[in-house]
Amino acid sequence: MNSKNIIMRFGFHISIAGGFPRVIPRALRTGCETMQIFSGNPRAWKKKPFNPEEAQNFQEALSQTSIAPLFIHAPYLLNLASPSEELYTRSIDCLVDELNKAYRLGARSVIVHVGNKLRLKEPEALDRVARAINLAFRRANNSIQLLLENTAGQGTEIGFKFSQLKTIVDQVDEKERIGICLDTAHAFEAGYDLSTSTGLNQMMDEFDTLLGLDRLKALHLNDSRTSFGSRVDRHWHIGKGEIGLSGFLHIVNHPALIHLPGIMETPRKEDADDLRNMEIMRSLIR
């Protein structure tokens, strides 16, 4: 396929407040061509019972739109690297649940934060993440992919270096089910300078060398409110942060990225915020 005919598909993380019937109208209202949702409350272990009929209705309604693909973001509470066996087991159980829900909702992938090593040494923490994924895949026997989201490296976070992601991926048994979601703000904050064409190309070369570009399945398109290499995770509006408009101009037109869905997780108080970010993002397409 001629890359000149490919244009990146943009979307947002869409709230599920009020139930799944409200999701698609919200996505359409903000111009989504792709989208990401939570399957339930992302900050609570205890969730309302999952309604298979509601999930089927959602999947059918989504199929009547051009919004694709759909991504499920795993809850923030998961820590697949946790040294606590109780939290580790609970995180694996939750991940299995998310993979199964994603299948019922018609999603392509589940996106998960890599985790926090806390008191563990880095190698042990990375090994625990890979082991958790293997256990979850065996229990959720479906075709849903799991995408590891790179982190900003805040606190004891792991997964902010591509070499760390490679260590995890190398130990996953079902390689066809594992991929990466690249968050632009996190990468910038972790020390990958996406604000310049040179920095972006260097990052892409490193990613390709360590993981292979075919492992990259989605983008989180967020500007950064904090400075380059800050290791502090703060998303900001497109073009208003430290990556800037010129940075996103290179990102959304990069030949190795334009075929990927781009999800924005920018600050939001009302639809106007999303519409403004969408307008800016689309204006950058060349």
**Catalytic position from the list 186, 215, 225, 250:** 186
Alpha helix ranges (H) inside 6-110:
23-29, 52-63, 85-105
43 is catalytic: yes
Candidate list 9, 108, 215, 235, residue with the active-site label: 235
Q: Which residue has the tokens 């190309």?
A: 201
189 has catalytic annotation = no
Q: Which of 60, 76, 119, 259 is catalytic?
A: 76
The amino acid at residue 49 is: P
Report the half-sphere exposure of 184 (CA within 13 A, side-chain side).
35
Among candidates 113, 91, 103, 102, which has minimal Cα distance to 45? 91
Cis peptide before 69 (omega within 30 of 0): yes
- Is 265 annotated in the active site? yes
Q: Which of 43, 85, 86, 214 is catalytic?
A: 43
Which two tokens mark 166? 């490679």
**List 33, 97, 98, 183, catalytic entry:** 183
Catalytic, 183? Answer yes
CA distance 28 to 136: 33
Contact by Cβ (8 Å): 56, 20: no
| Residue in 9, 13, 26, 73 annotated catalytic | 73
CB atoms inside a 10 Å sphere around CB 176: 8
Mapped onto helix, strand or coil, the DSSP state of residue 180 is: strand
The single residue of 33, 97, 149, 223 carrying the catalytic annotation is 149
State the distance between the two ends of the chain, measured CA to CA, in whole angstroms: 17
Task: Give yes or no for a contact between 76 and 42, defined as CB atoms under 8 angstroms apart.
Answer: yes
Please indicate whether residue 76 is annotated as part of the active site. Answer: yes
Catalytic-role residue among 97, 157, 233, 274: 233
For the record, the structure tokens of 98 come out as 């998310």
Tell me whether residue 233 is one of the annotated catalytic residues: yes
Residue 173 annotated among the catalytic residues of the structure? no
Verify whether residue 220 is a known catalytic residue.
yes
Count Cβ atoms within 10 A of the Cβ of residue 135 and give its class: 0-12 exposed, 13-18 middle, 19 or more buried. Answer: middle
What residues are annotated to the active site?
Answer: 43, 73, 76, 113, 149, 183, 186, 220, 233, 235, 265
